[in-house]
Homo-oligomer: A and B are copies of this chain.
Amino acid sequence: MTGTRWLDDLEMAAWTAYLTASHLLERRVEEQLKADAGLTHAQYEILARLSAAPDRRLRMTELAHGVVVSKSGLTYQIGQLEKMGLVERATCPSDDRGVLAVLTDRGTECLERTAPGHVTVVRELLIDLLTPDELETVIRVMNRVETAARAGTRTP
């Protein structure tokens, strides 16, 4: 190969701005959830996904794919949420290997109690900072990133 296509000033600005902002945003969301609900962001995402799923349940693999976490990472977190009584494990009817993570009633309550504060932070630190056009751009761009980043890999 001849040479690397380095990032020019604008491209570098975009990458560093993205990195810094995403780290900070993640940190703040984490802080808020821990303080107000004793939950990790990962745990909240799991509860939210389950809540939106048909019958409030999902296969482990599907859930891991959705929240973008490793299989072992999900096993661990489901274990934690089970201890808290927010999630239960059920055997999968159609596949004996499978395990279903099921949101309990307490899990639903916890989510309903926690969601307002969470949404507030997400608005303050991202959504309400965007014009409608920018919102569309974020959706478009991030979907492109997802597609590119998922190309040629599995669940992780």
Contacts and interface: CB of A to CB of B under 8 A. Distances in A.
B129 A144 contact: yes
Contacts of A146: 17, 20-21, 24
Interface residues of chain A: helix, strand, loop or mixed (majority)? helix
A142 B68 contact: no
Contacts of A18: 126, 138, 142
Interface string A114-156: 0110011011111101101011111111111110111000001
Interface residues of A, number: 55
A126 B145 contact: yes
Contact of A20 (B115, B136, B142): B142
Given A18-B138, A23-B67, A125-B149, 13 more contacts: A4-B115, A4-B116, A7-B122, A7-B123, A10-B135, A10-B136, A11-B127, A14-B127, A18-B126, A21-B143, A23-B69, A137-B137, A138-B141
